[in-house]
Amino acid sequence: MNGLLLAAGLGTRFRPFTDKVPKPAINLLNVPIAYYNLHLIQSLGVEKLAVNTHHLPDQIKKMFTDQRVGVPVSFSDEKSKILGTGGAIKKAKNFLTGSGTFVVANADVVSGFSVTDALEFHHDRQPMATMVVMRHSEAGKKYGAVWVNSECEVVHIGKDKPNTTCEPFHFVGVHLLEESVFKFIPQGPCDINKDVYLGAIKKGQKVLAFEKSGLWFDAGNLEDYLEATKKLLDLLPKLQHQPYFLSLFRRFWHGFDRRPNIWEGEGCEHLLALGTKQKILLDRDCRIHPTAKVTGFAVFGEGCQVEEGVELNNVVVGPRAVVTKNQKLSNTLIL
């Protein structure tokens, strides 16, 4: 099976952090965001993987040449302009065709579930495309919705409810596609949902929706990213009930099994006592000054340094980042 991860976006809602690091490469609990959906599509048996690039492409390529990825990766470079989801799929046509059904997923969202059942559904019903969706209270309100009828058919995509019996669902960024979709993708930049699926549906093609439940995070801005961090920290002691996250962390998180919810970093012994009250995660080779104070939650990336007199509240410190002395930081990310 062939797969495409979409990693070309600018991450505009997450600026200024994404001016320095592309969103798929930002760590969420010491695992790059892109690896969450990488794990998801590889659970389907993806053996050939393509990744599209545009913004800070060298960092994206470095991440996907890591040995943990496990398969060779081809890069589809969108150097002059971003092609959108539909345009990216069109550009990667020669790579994606030849294996029948292929999968496309966003590299900047976090899914906490397998979609093998969605693939079985897709093969059984044989539509042109299957969109993986979930229920969300803001679908059709804050967010555009995938409007689905009782036969699991997508009848519309957008905020406005169509004049037919249907329910709104939230799209989680995973598509299962047949090669027939290429006939409906125009040349140039386009959106697969609005510019391709809606037109294909009007021409009689079936686009279906498969509902999943479980944890899912957009983490598309600082507020949502910190909320996702907090929820995943709370989840760590309960991973026996979350087999998907457990398998993902064991794969991508060096030495994950040493501690269920606190990473014991060298030079950070004075923070370990906070573990029963605070949610603190320490990666390898952290240097945290004994005078540093932490309230709320904190995640310290590999090789980071926190100098004397620093006060942190609900903060993520990225790998090799330095927090200089006497800073007071709250509800933020340091890269």
CA atoms within 13 A on the CB side of 125: 22
The answer to whether residues 9 and 91 belong to one domain is yes
Minimum mean pLDDT range among 14-18, 116-120, 269-273, 280-284: 269-273
DSSP summary character for residue 181: G
How much is the pLDDT for 265? 41
Structure tokens at 45: 């048996």
| pTM of the full structure | 0.89
Among 257, 185, 213, residue whose Cα is nearest residue 117? 213
The answer to whether residues 169 and 121 belong to one domain is yes
Q: 308: burial class by Cβ within 10 Å (0-12, 13-18, 19+)?
A: exposed
The answer to whether residues 140 and 246 belong to one domain is no
The answer to whether residues 165 and 301 belong to one domain is no
How much is the pLDDT for 209? 97
End position of a domain, from candidates 187, 217, 247: 217
Residues 6 or more apart whose Cβ sits within 8 Å of residue 167? 147, 148
Minimum mean pLDDT range among 121-130, 132-141, 205-214, 314-323: 132-141
Total structural domains within the chain: 2
What CATH number does the domain containing 144 carry?
Answer: 3.90.550.10
The answer to whether residues 213 and 226 belong to one domain is no
Average pLDDT of the chain to the nearest whole number = 88
Among 159, 63, 46, 157, residue whose Cα is nearest residue 108? 63
Residue 322: band (very low, low, confident or very high) from pLDDT cuts 50, 70, 90: very high
The answer to whether residues 176 and 238 belong to one domain is no
- More reliable by pLDDT, 279 or 169: 169
How much is the pLDDT for 240? 76
Domain with 68 in it: 2-217
Percent of the chain clearing pLDDT 90 (strictly above): 60
How much is the pLDDT for 142? 73
The answer to whether residues 175 and 130 belong to one domain is yes
Minimum mean pLDDT range among 38-52, 122-136, 199-213, 266-280: 266-280
The answer to whether residues 60 and 177 belong to one domain is yes
- Mean pLDDT for the stretch of residues 55-69: 91
How much is the pLDDT for 270? 53
The answer to whether residues 191 and 207 belong to one domain is yes
